[in-house]
Structure 1
Amino acid sequence: MSCIYFVFLSKIKFLKMSEQIPPQWSNFYLKDVSFVNLMMRRIYNVLIVANPYDAFMLEDDGRVEEKIYNEYMELGLRYPPTFTQVSTTEEAARVLSTVDIDLVICMPGNADNDAFDVARAVKAEFPGIHCVVLTPFSHGITQRIQHEDLSIFDYVFCWLGNTNLILSIIKLMEDKMNIDHDIREVGVQMILLVEDSIRFYSSILPNLYGYILTQSRNFATEALTRHDASLRQRGRPKVVLARTYDEAWEIYQRYKDNCLGVISDVRFPINNNVERKEKTSAKDPEAGLKLLRAIRKEDEYLPLILESSESDNREKAEAEGFRFVDKNSKKMSVDLRHLLEEHMGFGDFIFRDPTTHEEVMRIHSLKELQDNIFKIPRDSMLYHVSRNHVSRWLTARAIFPVSTFLKGITWHKLQDVDMHRQIIFDAIVAYRRMRNVGVVALFDRHKFDRYAHFARIGDGSLGGKGRGLAFLDNIIKRHPDFNGFPNATVQIPKTVVLCTDVFDSFMEQNNLYQIALSDAPDDEILHAFLHAQLPDAFIPDFFAFFEATRSPIAVRSSSLLEDSHYQPFAGIYSTYMIPCLEDKYEMLRMLACAVKAVYASVYYRDSKAYMAATSNVIDQEKMAVILQQVTGKDYGGRFYPNISGVLRSLNYYPIGEEKAEEGIASLALGLGKYIVDGGQTLRVCPFHPHQVLQMSELKMALRETQTQFYALDMQHVGEDFKVDDGFNILKLQVKEAEADGSLQYIASTYSPDDQAIYDGAYEEGRKIVSFCGVLKQEVFPLPELLQMAMRYGAEAMRRPVEIEFAVNLNSDRTGELYLLQIRPIVDTKQMLEEDLASIPDERCLLRSHNSLGHGISDDVTDVVYVKTDTSFTAKDNPAIADEIEQINRRFLDAGRNYVLIGPGRWGSSDSWLGIPVKWPHISAARVIVEEGLEHYRVDPSQGTHFFQNLTSFGVGYFTINPYKHDGFYQRSALDALPAVDETAHVRHVRFPRPLKIMMDGKKQEGVVLMPGI
């Protein structure tokens, strides 16, 4: 199985004292790591070769497989090995030839066939398999080992019936198999154990591994999800066993940049020639001291522990600054564990008084270190910083990005305690931000703060919007260039999702299904839901969320069906907003009401009707609820962002230099509800931000730009929650935003004296919401960021997307772009499977190679066309406009639509260039066709005079010039039909069956097919 993962970078942005931070650290990037590729090589199958007695003891008394399995489960480890037991070399050979065995353990045999003989026979037949010898120690065995060639075995251990030793053997072998890759991959750490006494390392390894594995389970609490917690344990320190000076030095040199500490015996061989092959073992009585001295010359901070059964070695060790453990002590394992905690970063971080060595503060987690770094006494901070204790503690907890960064900032390089505090704090903040982006964490009220990001309460689904939001967050994380602009940050708002299982529990415990599924009025259903009870257990969670956001909160629906990839299901349920209040209990009450009101909206009459129309079953719908920080600022009791918008990666109405695949954005001042409700927005292509049609003409700018906006009423506090989720939303005039000062960089000013519009918000004159500072003056890189969002979003979803967003702009020309939602563009009416260019002309009533709009329509039977025979002249265009207005009124009264065909530019103010209709005169048209004539040639207008209406109502706009073979038009087919209505210049005809209108907005191809062909 191949694993794909991404490397994420996060620049450390120092929050204070940035002008004092040395330049080599001020631009440092943290590289996040993935644990998924660690410990890939495992011991899965173990063959134990033992005599019948020992096999029986292992099976029935020792129950080795059961014990190992239980050990794995207790430690949270995966992949417990499977054990196969045999008694003879012949049985072992049969198993080895049929089963993929990773490790062979040879245990005591009998007088004729001991463990060494068995192991030697196995290695002779299968030299590539790891082989370990377990043997009980006696005087005879000790003498035997002195004359035995042990080099063919991986290890020899002393067996006293302790199954924990077998777990340690497996872990030791796995560490040896994975260390090179895992250090190279993410920088895992190594503990070097130097010991040649088989008895002693057989005793110390189970204790050492037991402590390390327990530590790995504890530091897994730094993870954000259960799966991540499991993976993080793979980042635990590895143990490497060396049995001679030369072997230890070679291992240290290879891994010294990732060495967490060294535990060494004193007496062991120095020359490899005497390692295991010679009949005598020449041991140097000070080999351990020599090794630690050599290591200390290379690393002044590395924890070095000397262990010995000779008590006089304590004085020698401590004289050189090494820690000492007495092998003869009955509590040796306890002493060693304390040294690991104190000096290798295991357990809690204990800040101590350097003089008395008394504990002054205990830190349990990364967040606690962040929260308390400025509270630690100066002398204690100096003591620990000068010894690189912080970096080592983080390393032991597998927080490698921060530990690697801090390891390079030693006391020698920066002798300033306060700057060390600030650097540590900023590095932790940057790491936590980086870790939170793109991850749906389990909500922990003790960890969720202003640096947290996205969390879930419950184990159910996030719902459609929740999934989309999490996906957006992941897209941002995978593309660091989103945050490559110095004056802009891109993120999603702080979010907590109440998963669908919370909804299920709420419905069942409050017995709400009966009224919910009834035909009761919406108000009655809402009343029942508002009087139901949410669990009190959520109260401290909600308070923690309030404290982290300190802003108004949007309570949004996120049902299983919303924003589905396969069917349109957006905008059906409610979204409520609650203000940020000083009274947290009042804010809690309003939040609870909002959550229950969103739940109730699942069962409103319109929701049930929509479910039926889309062939879904209402009682199968499940609702998650998103609690989300509202983007914006408080302007004296009304809260709103400078910019809200909706971005679509396909533009079916491209004009000028725009292309369909360059997308389109609708921008508005204030809350995004204004856009959803169909308010007047500014339409702009992110690739052509200087070309805004609505600002191209003075009259159009005054008529077709935003005059109102929405804001949250921060003063509206009460229990009057209504079915209408906009009950506390203010609808304001743009001129009121001028008083708030929120129009800076987004407004132009109309001067009636000059009859001109000037970029910028000046005192006199009407303000036009043009977003000129952002689109033209490059105050904020919104066009570039929208290009990225559109490109990366569509690539990730493998289909066109729609993205909601909001922007806060600051007076210093910085800003924050918040991506609020992503959904696929799915509209069954717009699903084109046919290549329109391949349709033959004989099937078409008309064809255009320059069309606007997208989709399929098959319910229009009527065509209204201008009679462009030889008698046509442009001087009749005003009269034609009047005639068409009368015909259009009759279509509106009948609730019907039609295809409109005429010469020149529709809607032109110059009647010599086209028919001067207004939008109400042709509002029932489904397709509008500009026809060029041999004697009446006018450049196509692309519907610019009523472009907003075309896009709002999805009306198609075709341009054809049959006289130069640009497009096709069967005028004769229309002339052959009887007229339903006919004037001096216009004819209205009706086909017996509907025409089929097909528009491909990507290729700008459009056809109207003859019925029945």
Structure 2
Amino acid sequence: MLSKLKLNQLYFKDTQFVNLMTRRIFNVLLIANPYDAFMLEDDGRVDEKIFNEYTSLSLRYPPRFSQVSTEEEALMLLANIPFDLVICMPGIGDNDAFSIGRHIKACYSHLPIVVLTPFSHGITKRIANEDLSAFDYIFCWLGNTDLLLSIIKLIEDKMNLEHDVAEVGVQLILLVEDGIRFYSSVLPNLYKFVLKQSQEFSTEALNAHQRTLRMRGRPKIVLARTYEEATEIYYRYKNNVLGVITDVRFPRQGKKDALAGIKLCDEIRREDPFIPLIIQSSEADNAAYASKYGASFIDKNSKKMDVDLRQTVADNFGFGDFVFRNPDTLEKIAKVQNLKELQNIIFAVPAESFLYHISRNHISKWLYSRAMFPIAEFLKPITWDSLQDLDAHRRIIFEAIVKYRKMKNQGVVAIFKRDRFDRYSNFARIGEGSLGGKGRGLAFIDNMVKRHPEFEEFENARVVIPKTVVLCTDVFDEFMESNNLYQVALSDMDDDMILRYFLKAKLPDGLVDDFLTFMDVVKSPIAIRSSSLLEDSHYQPFAGIYNTYMIPYLDDKYEMLRMLSDSIKGVYASVYFKDSKAYMQATSNVIDQEKMAVILQEVVGTQYGDKYYPSMSGVARSLNYYPIGNEKPEEGTVNLALGLGKYIVDGGMTLRFSPYHPNQVLQTSELDIALKETQTRFYALDLKNAGQDFSIDDGFNLLKCHVKEAESDGSLQYIASTFDPYDQVIRDGLYPGGRKVITFANILQHDVFPLARILRLVLKYGEMEMRRPVEIEFAANMDHDSRSGAFYLLQIRPIVDCKEVIDEDLSAIPDEETLFRSANSLGNGIMNDVYDVVYVKTDNYSASNNQFIAYEIEKLNKQFLAEGRNYVLVGPGRWGSSDTWLGIPVKWPHISAAKVIIEAGLTNYRVDPSQGTHFFQNLTSFGVGYFTINAFINEGVYDQKFLNVQPAVTETKFLRHVRFANPLVIKMDGRKKQGVVLKPLL
């Protein structure tokens, strides 16, 4: 049965509470003579009383009241203000509220109109003889403002009922009663109770905003005044009725029927044996019927009738705590207050009690009343009759709760609560300030993954963010102020001194217990990352300026706490280190505006002896400026490495591939390059280093290991290939002997882990939702036995590096302003610090001289390196080709100072543009531009005449070197593969 339900595939969609209760009553028109209006206000203002009533129940949007006493005034106001409700108070004298009401209804048929009348013998008689068809409800005013609240809520419930039930399955309580006095006193009582309850269950929400929204999911109250109206409502919404409260004597088939309520119970019971029924009657004999239909009975004559009703509703309609009872004695066995407690107790409840509750659908009813619609909806059809297996039933409920709680926690920044934070919690904040740049990015990705169900569809991979708690910026402010640190921070002290002062300072008091809770749940090493206000902001590159520390997980909690506190202070101090201050100046930011939030996050990885590191980490970008073969720029590019991501940030040798073409990896396409250009070292966290020598260098406790160590750790299973020296080939997978090469072949070529597919989704949605190209940091961990794993998103930021954003249309630049133009270029960005051009002379050019030309270029390149200058290099054919007939056979070191390399075809000498593997690898690593131009067939521009008339700094038999007084401006648009070099100002 369990497999049939496929619980692991169960996908709960979060309830969009924001779509509920969308129709509201904002403006109420009150028609009453001044005396009645005064009575109603009872020397006070109705607005104010209603406002207080709303705020005490955490409700928003209290309505505004406008009061008039004549029909003319009423019609004038109605013409100018969109009213949502009209309340008429029929009084004595010339104001005939009934006829005014009827007239208004004739003009505004959609407008709900209610009669609110003080009760007296005369009025009762009059109501009996009036035509009341124009009025939605008649209420009896007993001087209680609560009644106004319930009138407004009753009409709002009626307006939203159909939509909200269809949208998420909101529940309703059906009240069947035709006695005006009676429902006028029951409704305020019921609403007060339901709203109070919804205030309590809204604590299941993870933050204040969600809490207010959740209250919209409370059960609605629907009033029926005849048998036919009651059955119509019941049959229409029978899957969503929480319970029925009914009178006994009310109209049926147009006449008062002394047993209408009993007939109604009989009909409902035939449909549903377990729905809670409450019969209320002023005739005590009717109690006998109540026991016949398993209903509760309430005596209307009782002095404490309202208390009895509240208690009975609380006990039977699933409100309040869930109480497990002994089915024979009904005594209490256990009580749960929230979902977490239910999850913890579900396997411990005695079988007979569990059976009693599930066979009556009590659990799903309790979940419904608490507005947990997805899980209630899922559990409701799984009845005892359909399953007949207690253990399976417990497992289903348990797993559904786990799944639901994970879903609820995802994509939401919860407020950190010690009793709430557990292994299903994802992201919480401590403090009220900002989350900072990285914090916002993480919350954004978490939410993005939740909204797109495709992320759930990988069979052997979970896509998640690591468990995260953010210390908001107000914690930083408090730390700085309470320790008087600004003077030290803004002084010219060296970094070490500033760090010492910060380490001596004290963090705010309440944090210790929060940290202990967090460490208890995470049970793994923790990364302490900066998340400043300016970092990863959309408009300025601020990445990598501040420190990120990692600390090992220790059994000694207090030692770990010391390291955690030191690391947080270290991140705080790094805002005021010399480099940060210099960077602030360079980007014209004011250091006082910089505030630091700190992210505490589990480190992704596995423990191997005294080392800890993930199977892989990487950086993915949604734009690829060096597409090869059939790759496209918009398909993005990924750099992947074994171990911690610091290796990539530090510029280590990574594996580069396009997520749309994971089996075309340039570095592993040729044997010699695979051996030379793949990763040989990796970073791991040193679990022995307990941070006694805490330092400004945030990598003080990281180990730089050789790949051989990973082989002995057993972490290379799907990541490495083996070089066979005898056959001179690289085989995918691990084999004894032979050097291990980090190729990720089993993952990229054989899809053992769906890395490429996940990255395609993440880049697609990341770019779509940020509306700009993005860069994403990630790490993944694989379980070698089960071939499954988890993909962790660590950060997302827009690509805003100024040299990388080209808004200009390069094709609009006139040819006469360009020295070079290519419609087939690689690379991206703007350079304006190059003054030199070195070009191969084309007069009398012969490919047979290519080797000599290579020597001359090598000599010139040495001079450029010595002077620290760069240049544009132009020549015919393929650069870097080993075949001297196809191009000039330079090696990379011979042209390493070139910023742009141009391959210019000649009439009689045309070679298809192509890059040698090594050569191309270096282009991408160093971000060098590569233009292909064939000017003689109008593919691009190469104004050699302009160069020929400039004086040469150096001229040899084959080469000319020209230097300009002003810089050449180079612009490359990697998306459109266009590049130009503009003529300098002469």
Global fold match (TM > 0.5) = yes
1:239-250 matches, cutoff 5 A: 239-250=221-232
Amino acid of the residue matched to residue 785 of structure 1?
I
Q: Any conservation in 2 of the 1:452–1:494 contact (CA below 8 Å)?
A: yes
Match of 1:621 among 577, 588, 594: 594
1:196 correspondence with 2:196: no
1:509 CA drift (Å): 0.8
1:276-315 matches, cutoff 5 A: 282-315=255-288
Match of 2:354 among 363, 381, 388: 381
TM value normalised by structure 2: 0.97
* C-alpha distance in structure 2 between counterparts of 1:423 and 1:594, whole Å: 42
2:35 paired residue number = 53
1:251 correspondence with 2:233: yes
Alpha carbons of 1:375 and 1:543: their partners in 2 closer, same or farther (altered >3 Å)? farther
Match of 2:820 among 840, 843, 846: 846
1:190 CA drift (Å): 0.8
1:549 correspondence with 2:522: yes
- Of residues 669-678 and 807-816 in structure 1, the stretch that sits farther from structure 2 once superposed is 807-816
1:468 CA drift (Å): 1.1
1:49-198 matches, cutoff 5 A: 49-110=31-92, 113=95, 115-124=97-106, 126-198=108-180
* C-alpha distance in structure 2 between counterparts of 1:339 and 1:265, whole Å: 15
1:923 correspondence with 2:896: yes
- Of residues 86-95 and 590-599 in structure 1, the stretch that sits farther from structure 2 once superposed is 86-95
Alpha carbons of 1:191 and 1:938: their partners in 2 closer, same or farther (altered >3 Å)? same
Provide the secondary structure at the position in 1 that maps to 2:881.
coil
1:122 CA drift (Å): 4.2
* C-alpha distance in structure 2 between counterparts of 1:129 and 1:658, whole Å: 62
Amino acid of the residue matched to residue 181 of structure 1?
H
1:115 CA drift (Å): 4.7
1:892 CA drift (Å): 1.1
Amino acid of the residue matched to residue 134 of structure 2?
I
Task: Provide, for residues 905-952 of structure 1, a one-character-per-residue CA deviation record: whole Å limited to 9, x for no partner.
Answer: 322334443333322221111111223334444332335323232222
1:591 paired residue number = 564
Provide the secondary structure at the position in 2 that maps to 1:564.
coil
Q: Any conservation in 2 of the 1:62–1:161 contact (CA below 8 Å)?
A: no
1:453 CA drift (Å): 1.0
Q: Any conservation in 1 of the 2:146–2:188 contact (CA below 8 Å)?
A: yes
Provide the secondary structure at the position in 2 that maps to 1:645.
strand
1:602 CA drift (Å): 0.5
2:870 paired residue number = 897
Q: Any conservation in 2 of the 1:462–1:500 contact (CA below 8 Å)?
A: yes
* C-alpha distance in structure 1 between counterparts of 2:139 and 2:937, whole Å: 93
Task: Provide, for residues 181-239 of structure 1, a one-character-per-residue CA deviation record: whole Å limited to 9, x for no partner.
Answer: 11112211110000111111111111100000101111111112211111111111111
Alpha carbons of 1:603 and 1:118: their partners in 2 closer, same or farther (altered >3 Å)? same
Q: Any conservation in 2 of the 1:807–1:815 contact (CA below 8 Å)?
A: yes
* C-alpha distance in structure 1 between counterparts of 2:809 and 2:134, whole Å: 71
Provide the secondary structure at the position in 2 that maps to 1:477.
helix
1:601 CA drift (Å): 0.6
Q: Any conservation in 2 of the 1:637–1:714 contact (CA below 8 Å)?
A: yes
1:774 correspondence with 2:774: no
Match of 2:966 among 977, 980, 993: 993
2:574 paired residue number = 601
- Of residues 432-441 and 664-673 in structure 1, the stretch that sits farther from structure 2 once superposed is 432-441
Q: Any conservation in 2 of the 1:942–1:959 contact (CA below 8 Å)?
A: no
2:790 paired residue number = 816
* C-alpha distance in structure 1 between counterparts of 2:644 and 2:834, whole Å: 37
Task: Provide, for residues 127-172 of structure 1, a one-character-per-residue CA deviation record: whole Å limited to 9, x for no partner.
Answer: 4432212223334433333333322211112211111111111111
- Any stretches of 5+ residues in structure 1 without a counterpart? 1-18, 275-281
1:354 CA drift (Å): 1.7
Task: Provide, for residues 715-741 of structure 1, a one-character-per-residue CA deviation record: whole Å limited to 9, x for no partner.
Answer: 211332211100111100111111111
Provide the secondary structure at the position in 1 that maps to 2:752.
coil
1:831 paired residue number = 805
Alpha carbons of 1:248 and 1:914: their partners in 2 closer, same or farther (altered >3 Å)? same
- Of residues 941-950 and 498-507 in structure 1, the stretch that sits farther from structure 2 once superposed is 941-950
Q: Any conservation in 2 of the 1:943–1:957 contact (CA below 8 Å)?
A: no
2:837 paired residue number = 863
* C-alpha distance in structure 1 between counterparts of 2:803 and 2:588, whole Å: 17
Task: Provide, for residues 391-419 of structure 1, a one-character-per-residue CA deviation record: whole Å limited to 9, x for no partner.
Answer: 00000000000001110011111122222
Amino acid of the residue matched to residue 299 of structure 1?
D
1:1004 paired residue number = 977
Match of 1:654 among 609, 619, 627: 627
1:939 correspondence with 2:930: no
1:3 paired residue number = none
Task: Provide, for residues 793-840 of structure 1, a one-character-per-residue CA deviation record: whole Å limited to 9, x for no partner.
Answer: 111111111111111122222121111111111122233333323333
Alpha carbons of 1:464 and 1:25: their partners in 2 closer, same or farther (altered >3 Å)? closer
* C-alpha distance in structure 2 between counterparts of 1:113 and 1:791, whole Å: 67
Amino acid of the residue matched to residue 934 of structure 2?
N
1:447 correspondence with 2:420: yes
1:359-758 matches, cutoff 5 A: 359-758=332-731
Q: Any conservation in 2 of the 1:192–1:261 contact (CA below 8 Å)?
A: yes
1:6 paired residue number = none
Provide the secondary structure at the position in 1 that maps to 2:116.
strand
Provide the secondary structure at the position in 2 that maps to 1:413.
helix
- Of residues 992-1001 and 117-126 in structure 1, the stretch that sits farther from structure 2 once superposed is 117-126
* C-alpha distance in structure 1 between counterparts of 2:116 and 2:953, whole Å: 102
Amino acid of the residue matched to residue 368 of structure 2?
T
- Of residues 201-210 and 983-992 in structure 1, the stretch that sits farther from structure 2 once superposed is 983-992
1:517 CA drift (Å): 0.5
Q: Any conservation in 2 of the 1:172–1:239 contact (CA below 8 Å)?
A: yes
Provide the secondary structure at the position in 1 that maps to 2:793.
strand
Provide the secondary structure at the position in 1 that maps to 2:164.
helix
Task: Provide, for residues 310-367 of structure 1, a one-character-per-residue CA deviation record: whole Å limited to 9, x for no partner.
Answer: 1111122112211111112222222222222221111111111222222221111112
* C-alpha distance in structure 1 between counterparts of 2:246 and 2:724, whole Å: 85
1:37 CA drift (Å): 1.8
* C-alpha distance in structure 1 between counterparts of 2:101 and 2:808, whole Å: 71
* C-alpha distance in structure 2 between counterparts of 1:833 and 1:140, whole Å: 80
- Any stretches of 5+ residues in structure 2 without a counterpart? none
* C-alpha distance in structure 1 between counterparts of 2:865 and 2:722, whole Å: 38
* C-alpha distance in structure 1 between counterparts of 2:48 and 2:904, whole Å: 85
Provide the secondary structure at the position in 2 that maps to 1:83.
strand
TM value normalised by structure 1: 0.95
Task: Give the aligned length.
Answer: 985
* C-alpha distance in structure 1 between counterparts of 2:83 and 2:911, whole Å: 83
Amino acid of the residue matched to residue 364 of structure 1?
Q
Task: Provide, for residues 651-684 of structure 1, a one-character-per-residue CA deviation record: whole Å limited to 9, x for no partner.
Answer: 1111111111111111101111100000000110
Provide the secondary structure at the position in 2 that maps to 1:29.
coil
Task: Provide, for residues 656-713 of structure 1, a one-character-per-residue CA deviation record: whole Å limited to 9, x for no partner.
Answer: 1111111111110111110000000011011111111111111111111100000111
Alpha carbons of 1:860 and 1:705: their partners in 2 closer, same or farther (altered >3 Å)? same
Alpha carbons of 1:53 and 1:961: their partners in 2 closer, same or farther (altered >3 Å)? closer
Give RMSD over aligned pairs: 1.8
Q: Any conservation in 2 of the 1:382–1:417 contact (CA below 8 Å)?
A: yes
* C-alpha distance in structure 2 between counterparts of 1:870 and 1:140, whole Å: 120
Q: Any conservation in 1 of the 2:880–2:915 contact (CA below 8 Å)?
A: no
* C-alpha distance in structure 1 between counterparts of 2:262 and 2:421, whole Å: 48
1:5 paired residue number = none
